[in-house]
Amino acid sequence: MADLNSQIGKLNFKNPVITASGTFGYGIEYADFIDLSGLGGIVVKGTTLHPREGNDYPRMVETPSGMLNAVGLQNKGVDYFISDIYPNIKDMDTNVMVNVSGSTVEDYLACTEKINDLEKIPAIELNISCPNVKQGGMAFGTSSKSAAEVVKAVRKVYHKTLIVKLSPNVTDITEIARTVEAEGADAVSLINTLLGMAIDAEKRKPVLSTLTGGLSGPCVKPVALRMVYQTYKAIKIPIIGMGGISNQEDAIEFLLAGATAVQIGTYNFIDPTVSVKIVDGINEYLDRHGFQSVKELVGGLIS
Amino acid sequence: MKKYISDWTVKENVCTHSCCLLKLRLDEEEQTIFPDFIPGQFVQVLVENSPSTFLRRPISVHFADKSKRELWLLIQAIGEGTRKLSELKPGEKLNLIYPLGRGFTVPKKNENIDLQINSDKKLLLIGGGVGVAPLFYLACCLLKSGYRPDFLFGARSKDHFFNIQAFEKIGKLYLTTEDGTCGEKGFVTQHSILKSTKYDFVYTCGPKPMMQAVAKYARQNDIPCEVSLENTMACGIGVCLCCVEKTKKGNSCVCTEGPVFNINQLLWQI
């Protein structure tokens, strides 16, 4: 049995497999299917300072090997999270992280400060890449200037592990990655969903109420893998890779491309047990190839 | 209610021109408990060997028999995924997540203060198209509780009814077709039985415009009414927040807060 421990910032993960925000609820929804303590971590649903109703239905459409969503950060707000959710998840034997979203720097800051007070939340994932909200979200992650502004502000008040989730909807993701690294982020996670669209030819109308949405699932994997690889060459802080991972081979490809850990997103919908299967699969791979530690795989492409 | 994920074996797949009745069995060696399915609940079916089908397909429980460890699904092949399901052969395996969602209210016999129903009161199950699927299991459960419901089903024409022989064995069956080839001509809400009989509770499942017309009839006549919605879903377990319907509580997930709703919970403009 190889050593699966992975390090992101100041935080140790028992293994490099984390479930992605928005695809895993608060973890408890999956407790009937898997032992949550088998996971390296859980990133809970995107949380904002104020409650958000999200976008109108239809919010989702299936696409070849994936799906488009336009949920729009529906959540009951950080205060509800603290009073009603946190008590039920704080004693999970895994790293529970909160995905913090917002429309203004002030919102990000206020939400972060509230999460900062929660002893059992060792990290936040700063979401500057949601494509489905009109103001903010992705707007922060698509320019270096605004990305720098929000990360700098949050870094000042947040001293635990700060992960910044990057948008793939940019010309050069490495530029944004370098910027958030310079502003003190401990790690970056990538990619958030790719902006896409679906049209109903019979009705001659867009399918989603918001016209466009975020594409996820196995169809985005090659794009995500390429971006992780490019970012690995450009920065020194750890990368959490994600985008279409559906089995251990996919996860290992991301590690080889330079990710220190991976997140499993959309495929949780297809197989609620996939995350723990991937943990076992990585372990098996390491043993089969004679590696002592998963750290040996990170960026381990043979040239 | 605890949820499970496991493989079921196809025992029988009876196809007619309009639909397939898929009978599944949960093998003993699966070691999983056969849950007490509530009528109106659904399962998430994994469709394999179908490249264009990525997500699971939510299919409502048509019938469940715990003693035989059997679950029946009524499937109308409308897309690639449901077509694959309709082609399943006995002996093949099907992976399901179950039981999901909130079902219909089945009144307990002689204890119906809340619903103000008792066994001499009249229940009506209104179905449109393949929407009759969950109503069969509902009818079986109502019968067990001592209620013999009536059925009112609508379809485009006589060839578009699903498995109605099974319903005829349980209660009185009233039909409408849009082209008048069977039963009364018109929509379900135009059937004469609604004028001649005062019902005490209405359950409905079918196309949304039909359910909204039924909800309108129920509201106008002050009859309690439950509807089963089928908004497009991804996860089926309340985490993706894609299948929402506007309710008095805000955007509610149809997969966990529903699929069955009392019409008073919904913000339908009817």
Percentage of chain B modeled with pLDDT above 90: 81
3-state DSSP helix/strand/coil percent for chain B, to nearest 5? 20, 30, 45
Residue A1 counted as domain residue? no
How far apart (Å, rounded) are the C-alpha atoms in residues A74 and B240? 10
How far apart (Å, rounded) are the C-alpha atoms in residues B89 and A17? 37
State whether residue A7 is helix, strand or coil.
strand
The answer to whether residue B11 scores a pLDDT higher than 70 is: yes
In chain A, what is the greatest distance between 2 CA atoms, to the nearest angstrom? 57
- Pairing, β B184-185 against β B173-177: parallel
How far apart (Å, rounded) are the C-alpha atoms in residues B231 and B239? 15
Q: pLDDT of A281-297, one tens digit each?
A: 999 999 999 999 999 99
User: For chain A, what is the domain count?
Assistant: 1
Q: How confident is the model at residue B242 (pLDDT cuts 50, 70, 90)?
A: very high
Q: Are B189 and B212 in contact (CB under 8 A)?
A: no
State whether residue B62 is helix, strand or coil.
coil
Closest approach of A20 to chain B, Cα-based (Å): 11
How far apart (Å, rounded) are the C-alpha atoms in residues B34 and B36? 7
Residue A248 counted as domain residue? yes
User: What residue type is A277 in one-letter code?
Assistant: K
Phi–psi pair at B70, nearest 5 degrees: -115, 145
Residue A121 counted as domain residue? yes
| Chain A contact present for B182, CB below 8 A | no
> Domain limits at A74?
6-297
- Helix count and strand count (H, E) for chain B: 5, 16
Q: How confident is the model at residue B188 (pLDDT cuts 50, 70, 90)?
A: very high
The answer to whether residue B24 scores a pLDDT higher than 70 is: yes
pLDDT at residue B107, as a whole number: 85
Residue A117 counted as domain residue? yes
The helix or strand, by DSSP H or E, that contains position B78, with its residue range, turns out to be none
Q: What is the mean pLDDT of residues A97-102?
A: 96
pLDDT at residue B115, as a whole number: 46
How far apart (Å, rounded) are the C-alpha atoms in residues B151 and B223? 16
User: What are the DSSP calls for A93-139, one per residue?
Assistant: SSEEEEEE--SSHHHHHHHHHHHHT-TT--EEEEE---TT-SSSTHH
- Helix count and strand count (H, E) for chain A: 10, 16
- Pairing, β A6-8 against β A11-13: antiparallel
Q: Are A196 and A168 in contact (CB under 8 A)?
A: no
Residue A237 counted as domain residue? yes
**Two tokens at B98?**
């179950």
- Look at A32 and B238 and tell me if their CB atoms are within 8 Å: no
Give all domains of chain B, ordered by start, each with its CATH number. 4-100 (2.40.30.10), 123-265 (3.40.50.80)
Closest CA in chain B for residue A64: B52
Percentage of chain A modeled with pLDDT above 90: 93
How far apart (Å, rounded) are the C-alpha atoms in residues A159 and A155? 7
Q: What is the pTM of this model?
A: 0.95
- Look at A272 and B5 and tell me if their CB atoms are within 8 Å: yes
Residue A302 counted as domain residue? no
pLDDT at residue B33, as a whole number: 87
Signed CA dihedral, A106, A108, A114, A119: sign only:
negative
ipTM above 0.90, yes or no: yes
Residue with tokens 């006549």: B221
Closest of B182, B149, B155, B183 to residue B168, by C-alpha = B149
Which CATH number goes with the domain that contains A82?
3.20.20.70
Closest approach of A10 to chain B, Cα-based (Å): 29
**Two tokens at B124?**
């009506």
Residue with tokens 């530029």: A175
Chain centroid to CA A125: 7
Q: pLDDT of A66-89, one tens digit each?
A: 999 999 999 999 999 999 999 999
Closest of B242, B257, B265 to residue B40, by C-alpha = B257
| Chain A contact present for B107, CB below 8 A | no
Neighbouring residues of B42: CB distance < 8 A, sequence distance ≥ 6: B58, B59, B60, B61, B99, B100, B101, B134, B236, B259
Q: What is the mean pLDDT of residues A18-28?
A: 98
Catalytic one of A20, A39, A121, A130: A130
Q: How confident is the model at residue A130 (pLDDT cuts 50, 70, 90)?
A: confident
Closest of A34, A33, A42 to residue A15, by C-alpha = A42
Residue A303 counted as domain residue? no
How far apart (Å, rounded) are the C-alpha atoms in residues B136 and B68? 17
| Chain A contact present for B55, CB below 8 A | yes
| Chain A contact present for B91, CB below 8 A | no
Closest CA in chain B for residue A219: B54
Cβ-based neighbour number of residue B245 at 10 Å: 19
How far apart (Å, rounded) are the C-alpha atoms in residues A84 and B71? 36
How far apart (Å, rounded) are the C-alpha atoms in residues B206 and B153? 9
Q: Are B153 and B161 in contact (CB under 8 A)?
A: yes
Contact residues, chain A, for B245 at CB < 8 Å: 57
User: What residue type is A284 in one-letter code?
Assistant: E
Residue B71 CA: distances (Å) to CA of A58, A67, B2, B128: 30, 29, 17, 22
Contact residues, chain B, for A265 at CB < 8 Å: none
Q: How confident is the model at residue B54 (pLDDT cuts 50, 70, 90)?
A: very high
User: What are the DSSP calls for A153-187, one per residue?
Assistant: HHHHH--SEEEEEPPS-SS-HHHHHHHHHHTT-SE
Chain centroid to CA B14: 19
The answer to whether residue B8 scores a pLDDT higher than 90 is: yes
The helix or strand, by DSSP H or E, that contains position A32, with its residue range, turns out to be none
pLDDT at residue B119, as a whole number: 55
Chain centroid to CA A228: 13
pLDDT at residue B116, as a whole number: 44
How far apart (Å, rounded) are the C-alpha atoms in residues A132 and A192? 11
| Chain A contact present for B234, CB below 8 A | yes
| Chain A contact present for B244, CB below 8 A | yes
User: Residue A57: which of B231, B238, B250 has the nearest Cβ?
Assistant: B231
Active site residue A111: no
pLDDT at residue B20, as a whole number: 93
Closest approach of B164 to chain A, Cα-based (Å): 31
Q: Pseudo-torsion of CA B186, B192, B195, B199, nearest 10°?
A: -90
Q: pLDDT of A247-268, one tens digit each?
A: 999 999 999 999 999 999 999 9
The angle that helices A105-116 and A144-157 make with each other, rounded to 10 degrees, is: 30
| Chain A contact present for B248, CB below 8 A | no
What is the phi-psi region of residue B110: left when phi exceeds 0, alpha when psi lies from -120 to 50, beta otherwise? Answer: left
How far apart (Å, rounded) are the C-alpha atoms in residues A87 and A64? 39
